[in-house]
Chains A and B, each alone.
Chain A
Amino acid sequence: MSAETTATTQAPTTTAPPGGEPRVPPGGALAAAGRLPQQNQLRRNLQRFLIGNKLNLVGVIIVVMFFILSIFGQAIAPYDPYAQDITGSKLLPPSTAHLMGTDELGRDVFSRVLTGTQISLQVAVVVLSFAVTFGTLVGSVSGYFGGIVDELLMRFTDMFLAFPALILAIAIAASLGRELKWTMVALSTVFWPWYARLVRAQILSIRERDFVTAGESIGLSGPRLLFRHILPNVISVVIIQLTLDIGYAILATSSLSFIGLGAQPPSPEWGTMMSTARNYFREAWWYISFPGIALTLTVFAFNVLGDGLQDALDPRSSHR
């Protein structure tokens, strides 16, 4: 909203009619000129990324499995994840009937871990959609317009970064209430400032490039330049961060659930499961182990993938 108004004052000479399609070709060509060499390099890098590095391949496989399981997990699950059987199957060790054993209420741990995948993905999607959208908006407005707008928005952003993220999330979630939805709100609050910073820094460097100057000189409006020509160049960096953050968002959710915020029993959220399983770890190692392994593998895979993507997409990175 403020983008729109500030933009028109900055470029009042824009005469393009609403939906003025004739003006697209020069702008499109400019954007393409800005992106093309990068895209060729990107393809080469991606090939090297998947075939050259075995760890990346493992990461990709686990991530793909994670997505498949979060969609079909509940359908594949051999048992109802909530169905209790306290008569005969409490805390049974892993067997062919119960691959990961059963819990204190006789529920099948395997089915619950599978169902938990879905919850984790849901949280990550909700939290990061908000974080990326809001953070990108703040960051791009801040970076593109500069001046007092930038100063105000960045000081506001810094306030959220001046604090260990997990503890801020705990404080917010604790104040709001012990429900998964409040955890999502808390985590969104924690994640967006990183995107604002990231996008702002990118935009500051991109807006000095020739194609932006060219766009300005042919009278493209501010928002149009920003959203159609500058932002597409920021996407790769945002994707790298996003990949890493999916893992961290899932980890943070489970951590919050573990201390009693976030998802509540009988939810099969991994952190919630482990919070209960902790009381039985001496007699039932499987109960705490499998949700933990699932969580670790998931975070690990997104980390590896994010790291690998960074190497592949960002030529300046010194990770390898």
Chain B
Amino acid sequence: MLVRLIVRRLLFLVVVLFGLSVITFSLSHVIPGDPARLMAGPRASASAVQKIREQFGLNDPLPQQYITYVGEVLHFNFGMSFTTRRPVAQDLQRFLPATIELGLYAFVISTLIGIPLGVLSAVKRDQWPDHIARFVSISGLALPVFWLAIMAQFIFFGRLGWLPDGERLPIGVDPPRTITSLYTIDALLTGNFSLFWLALKHLAMPALVLAYGSLAVVTRMVRGGMLEVLNQDYIRTARAKGITQRGVVLGHALKNALLPTVTSIGLQIGLLLSGAFLVEIVFSWPGIGRYAVDAIQRLDYNATMATTLLIALIFVLLNLLVDILYLFLDPRISYT
């Protein structure tokens, strides 16, 4: 049954990626704008442009161009980036770890704060912890993440000078030896604690800002789940048996309340990925979000399409993982 679920979802993933590639490919090739001209630069001669056009098969009919493109993509060849003048695949490899590190920290922060806050909010319903939690969950979804990022930068870098304003490390500081490509972890693994502290300080602001939106989602889900569970008969029974409030909440209610929260992880991943696009620009964070936005602004189609496809892949795969995890956590659920 599990295998069937996985196979079905992977097939669906193929369809999604196919659809998405068709959409972005045809849109970017139908609209006015000449990629050959862009690649050659504004001052290139007509013959140079023509040569590029032939070299990259831009004279072929569109369906054929698409098939060529897909064939290349299947070999992890996404073409050259006009912006960095490197193969896009190489760029992605280089920028992805920064986004993963940022997203991972944001995820951990939002979970570590969100779950206790949600529980507290449900238990102390309509008292001040609840008001704080509701403020967080509503403002987290209403605050534009890029604005929050700039404001944080203004306060913690501009006014207070506590944290650096961007990048993964200060200019001139060499990153740790590459093991996982996540600077904080690599620094720890190589025993370089001052570098770890430096990398952590650079991570702090972007990760906190990025975490805020998904913190809102977690808090809201946990609060809702908790409120529902606390009203159930078995909780009343537990209370009647004389179990303390603490025992009821942590021992009996929390586990069941957290189950639906697992499903919100998918939503969180979406928020974190799209948030990364905006946060990375503000903090000059060298991840794929900033890479994609740079590519978009310079009409670098190869890079734009590759990043979108990659993010789709990550998103769908992570969501599949979440569903499988849920299956193990809750034996009552079966995906048929």
Contact = CB atoms under 8 A, between A and B. Distances in A.
- Interface residues of B toward A: which range? 35 or more
A162 B144 contact: no
Contacts of B277: 166-167, 170, 259
Given A159-B15, A255-B144, A164 B278 contact: no
Interface in A82-116: none
B52 interface: no
Interface stretch (B41-49, B310-318, B325-333): B310-318
Contact of B144 (A261, A278, A296, A319): A296
Nearest to B316: A162
A295 B278 CA distance: 16
A247 interface: yes
Contacts of B27: 172, 175-176
A158 B11 CA distance: 13
Interface string A247-285: 100010011001111000000000100100010011001
A300 B216 CA distance: 13
A177 B27 CA distance: 9
Contacts of A174: 28, 296, 304
B24 A175 contact: yes
Contacts of A158: 12
Given A171-B20, A172-B27, A292-B147, A164 B311 contact: yes
A292 B20 contact: no
A7 interface: no
A131 B281 CA distance: 30
A296 B147 contact: yes
A300 B158 contact: no
A304 interface: yes
A216 interface: no
A282 B278 CA distance: 19
Contacts of A282: 154, 158
Contact of B296 (A260, A281, A289): A260
Interface stretch (B57-65, B90-98, B134-142): B134-142
Interface in B131-179: 138-139, 141-147, 150-151, 153-154, 158
Interface in A119-158: 155, 158
B19 interface: yes
Contacts of B146: 255, 258, 274
A167 B144 contact: no
A260 B101 CA distance: 26
Interface string A174-191: 111100000000000000
B23 interface: yes
B278 A176 contact: no
Interface string A291-320: 010011001100110010000000000110
A163 B273 CA distance: 10
A303 B141 contact: yes
A175 B147 CA distance: 25
B15 A167 contact: no
B35 interface: no
Nearest to A156: B19
Which 6 pairs, one residue from A and one from B, show the smallest C-beta to C-beta distance? A175-B27, A166-B274, A300-B142, A164-B270, A292-B147, A299-B142
10 contacts: A158-B12, A159-B15, A162-B315, A162-B319, A163-B20, A163-B312, A260-B297, A281-B154, A288-B147, A296-B147
